[in-house]
Amino acid sequence: MAHSSKIFCCFSFLFSTLSIIPLSHQLEQHPLDSLTPIEFIRVQAIVNQSHPTTTNDITFQYIGLNEPDKQALISWLQNHRTTPITAPPPRQAFVIARINHQTHELVVDLLYDNIVSDHIHHGFGYPLLTFEEQNGASQLVFNHAPFLAALNKRGLKVEEVICETFAIGWFGETKQNGRVVKVMCYYLDGTVNLYMRPIEAITVTVDLEAMKITHFRDRLVVPVPKAAGTDYRESEQKEPFGPELKGITVVQPDGPSFIIDGSRVRWANWDFHLSFDARVGPVVSLASIYDTEKQEFRRVMYRGFVSELFVPYMDLTEEWYYRTFFDAGEYGYGLCAVPLEPLRDCPANAVYMGAYVAAQNGMPIEMPNVFCIFERNAGDVMWRHTETMIPPDLITEVRPDMSLVVRMVSTVGNYDYINDWEFKQIGSIKVTVGLTGLLEVRGSKYTHKDQIDEEVYGTLLAENTLGAYHDHFITYHLDLDVDGESNSFVKSKLQTVKVTDQTSPRKSYWKVVSETAKTESDAKIKLGSDSAELLVVNPNKRTKMGNFVGYRLIPGSVASPLMTDDDYPQIRAAFTEYNVWVTPYNKSEKWAGGIYTDQSRGDDTLATWTSRNRRIENKDIVLWYTLGFHHVPYQEDFPLMPTISTGFELRPANFFEYNPVLKVKGPSNVRWPNCSVSSSGLK
């Protein structure tokens, strides 16, 4: 095996440039559709032509849709229903490019093929890392004599070495370091599980602009963990095996119940738009639900997506302390999307969709099967009741819980994140993220826990293998428009009341005390201490009973940062200090870690935006929710980690006049293959 380099996002497919699609398709686009291959090509040409005298190649760090003004889009949607020939809002691209070693923010008009604005970024931080520059930096070590000598000293074969790049973070430096990364390497030689075989204590620093090694240090020799028992491939497993289960077939004899029209998805009572972004992955927009009582679609969410992922490791050793990753802002959560495996990642009834991103030179790259969409019937119950109080009748009514799932998997280095947006007939949007893949482990001299007499910042999982303590914080941008843009955020505490008079033999009860947040500071919440109902309501719309229509946030597992507020990674990730934030809608405020996250200093984050303490009552507001994991590794996480999941739910709260699925019928043509039913059960 020849030596190799490895970019941070793992891909199992080849990039390929797409043929240009017909212009007629462009005319049928929705204003929120992802950029098409022809649009990437046009953007590249426009930007290159606008800087003909550049002395360096222009590199495109990010190209994505510059979403239209919200009010203009809503107005167009309303008019488009009655007048389909209404011109859509201007179609534009937002570009971050490196030109002559400067970072340019450009807005490109795709109708008139010109540049609307070209701004040079002079502040702190740098844009997304590209695949090509990460790969180039990783390759440099194989021609660096001190590195080759370090491998030889350890008795390692260079052809079995694979390397990847790491963002360096910021740790109080007053002067900018320039666009640099650090390179860490791993050893194969008998396994494909390279992350379980780190080559420790070697530090290589690469200047990305000059593409050269600027620093090398070989601090000490640490044993490389053994390859035995680390390979996770099914074909490489040896007996004994676990019990084999019989097959389960997912069959929809009449085909799927959902319709995909371009990027628009319609299923049951839901209608939404699905697009893809290189930085954040799936973007769910214009989610509306049909109200059978009102005989109309009602707005729920204008736009929802993963805004940032913060993954700080707790290891303070020289080669580890800087590993405090911002997976979306540094590496691109969407860029790291991988093709989904039919029958493994998604069930047999799934439909797949691809996406496109830009290469470093601006040309389009195909990303096949990054989304799967499928209907789920997991045997759960949507609602039921058995009535025994009307003898001799026994009344039983049950409705199975059917839902629609949109899934994407992003493999950011060693971790695989399984992202689900699940739409339920009761009106809920359930968002789930599952963590699996491989731990980031540190090589160690220790082979048994009893040998450890110092702080090692992790768990000994196998001989010479320490699983580092770390966190995962995932922040979601949720622009809810509950029955319209003008919404308010209401926190309803459940307050215990003692009974002090003789009105009841009871001694206590609880009541609901509601408070409407007037400013951003009123809305910040750290979950876990008090019981609370968290609602986004439309104060201008009421039910027949007089309640404000709304949606409530039902959190999943709660985790908050344990680092101190003055720790540099936490300054950069101050948006994780609260689980819930609410801001007034601002088109430019969509990435919680700021536009330029690589080596950022925390001066452009969700936390700094909210310091203005703007008014949010009866406004167009955005709900931000951060879920988290504190990950203490255990031996069951070795050599790979079974999936652990959490999430949250957006659920109707007085949005409907009554149970919206009262009149929903169960699926027709339910079949039991290879079995029959008798009074005593299944045969």
The catalytic residues are 327, 415
Could you give the CA distance from residue 50 to residue 65 in angstroms, rounded to a whole number?
19
Contact at 8 Å (CB) between 277 and 96? no
Contact at 8 Å (CB) between 603 and 170? no
Chain-centroid distance, C-alpha 222: 35
Task: Map residue 567 onto helix, strand or coil.
Answer: coil
Across the beta sheet with 465-468, the strand order is 441-443, 465-468, 458-462
Could you give the CA distance from residue 196 to residue 466 in angstroms, rounded to a whole number?
9
- CA-based nearest residue to 649, from 406, 430, 478, 479: 430
Could you give the CA distance from residue 440 to residue 539 in angstroms, rounded to a whole number?
48
Could you give the CA distance from residue 542 to residue 379 in angstroms, rounded to a whole number?
35
Residue 566 has, within 13 A of its CA and on its CB side, a CA count of: 0
For β-strands 429-437 and 415-424, DSSP reports them as: antiparallel
Six-digit token pair at 155?
A: 């008795």
Q: Which residues have C-beta within 8 Å of that of residue 516, sequence separation ≥ 6?
A: 488, 489, 490, 539, 617
- Residue 569: in which H helix or E strand, if any? helix 568-572
Burial of 588 (0-12, 13-18, 19+ CB in 10 A): exposed
70 DSSP assignment? H
Six-digit token pair at 534?
A: 């968290």
Could you give the CA distance from residue 45 to residue 362 in angstroms, rounded to a whole number?
9
Residue reference for tokens 């096949």: 368
Which neighbouring-strand residues pair with 95? 63, 106
- CA-based nearest residue to 96, from 64, 134, 49, 123: 64
Six-digit token pair at 543?
A: 């039910």
For β-strands 580-584 and 532-542, DSSP reports them as: unpaired
- How distant, in Å, are the alpha carbons of 8, 142, 204, 323, 442 from that of 224? 21, 19, 18, 20, 9
Instruction: Write down the H helix ranges in 441-542.
Output: 520-523
Q: What is the CA radius of gyration of the chain?
A: 27
Contact at 8 Å (CB) between 533 and 511? no
Q: Which residues have C-beta within 8 Å of that of residue 599, sequence separation ≥ 6?
A: 124, 125, 126, 167, 168, 169, 170, 176, 177
Beta-strand ranges (E) seen in 77-150 are 92-99, 102-109, 114-121
